[in-house]
Amino acid sequence: MAGTNSERELLAEGPAIILVEPQLGENIGMVARAMANFGIAELRLVNPRDGWPSEKAQAAAAKADHVIDATQVFATLEEAVADLNFVFATTARQRDGFKEIRSPVTAASMLRERFSLGEKTGILFGRERWGLSNEEVALADEIVTFPVNPAFASLNIAQAVLLMSYEWMKSGMQDDAATPFQRVEQRPATKSQLIGLFDQIEEALDARNYFHPLTKKPRMIDNLRAVLSRPNFTEPEISVLRGVLTSLDRFQRRWPKGKGPATTGGEDEGNGAGDEA
C-alpha cells in the first residue's frame, strides 16, 4: 500500500506463535519484532520464567506494540493450544515417533491453506536452552525443522520465529521473487550524449598527455570507448560523470612538493600524470 508509514496497511494475521517457558524478556521482545516484520500478530506464552508483562520485552520489541499488548499468557501448553485446529512443533533434532516432518516452506504453505479455510493454527517454539520435550512435541500435529548446519543446529527463539514468519509472508505472495520497491526508472542515454562524454574525457586526457606515445592514441581511444560504452548509461548517469569531469578540469592539480611537471623536466612518462590541469 503506497503512502507514508502511517498510511500503510498493518498486516496482523496468521498462526499463533507459542513460546514454551521462555526465559528472557529480551528474547520475547525480539520474537514480537520478528513476528511484526512479517505480518504475524498473535503471541502466546506458556509459563514465562520472569512473568508478564515485561519491560525488557517491550523495549526489545522495537515498537511492535500491537503484538506485545495482545500477548496471552497460559499456565500450561495444553491450555495454550486448546482452541487451535492444527499445530506445528519446531525442533532442530530428530525425534522418535510417527509425526510427519515438514520443511519451513511446506509448513508455511500448509498453514496458509488452513488459514484460508478459517482454521486456527499455531507453531510451538521451545526453551532457549533445550527446546521442546517429547511430551510437548506430542501435542503437535506435525513437526517443522530447519535446514541448518548439522554441526551447529542451534537457533535462538527469535531466529527460529523469524524464519517461520518469513516463510509465512512468502506463502501469501503471488510472486515470491517480488520486492516491495524497485529502482527509479531512468531514460537510457542517447548515442549523442554518450559521444559527448567520449569527447569530454578524451579532451581532458589529451591535455594531460595520457595518449602517449601518439602512435598508440587511436588504439587507446578505441579501448576507452569500448569500456565506456559497456554500462548502458542512463541520462542522469551521463550527467553525473560529465559534472565530475567538469569539476576536475576547473581547478589546477596540486602536486606534492618536489614532484610534477616543473621538476621532471617537461612531459611525464606515465599515462595519467601530466601538465597543468
Give yes or no for residue 180 having a pLDDT over 90. Answer: no
Cα–Cα distance, 123 to 163 (Å, whole number)? 12
Give every CB contact of residue 54 below 8 A, 6+ residues apart in sequence.
25, 28, 29, 48
CB 33 within 8 A of CB 3: no
pLDDT range class, residue 229, cuts 50, 70, 90: confident
CB 125 within 8 A of CB 17: yes
Q: Which of 187, 181, 184 is nearest to 232 (CA)?
A: 187
Q: What pLDDT is attached to residue 274?
A: 35
The whole-angstrom distance between residue 196's C-alpha and the CA centroid of its chain comes to 39
Give the 3-state secondary structure of residue 240. helix
Secondary-structure percent of the chain, ordered helix, strand, coil, rounded to 5: 40, 10, 45
Beta bridge partners of 19: 45, 125
pLDDT range class, residue 272, cuts 50, 70, 90: very low
In the numeric block, the cell 497460559 is attached to 74
Lowest-confidence pick of 116-120, 139-143, 215-219: 215-219
CB 112 within 8 A of CB 11: no
Cα–Cα distance, 111 to 92 (Å, whole number)? 20
CB neighbourhood size of 33 (10 A): 20
φ, ψ for residue 8 (rounded to 5)? Answer: -80, 150
pLDDT digits (tens, 9 = 90+) for 7-41: 566 666 899 999 999 999 999 999 999 999 999 99
pLDDT digits (tens, 9 = 90+) for 104-130: 999 999 999 999 999 999 999 999 888
1 vs 203: which has the higher pLDDT:
203
Lowest-confidence pick of 35-49, 62-76, 142-156: 142-156
Cα–Cα distance, 107 to 160 (Å, whole number)? 13
CB neighbourhood size of 237 (10 A): 16
pTM beyond 0.85: the answer is no
Q: Which of 118, 227, 67, 119 is nearest to 57 (CA)?
A: 67
Cα–Cα distance, 161 to 44 (Å, whole number)? 13
Q: What pLDDT is attached to residue 7?
A: 57
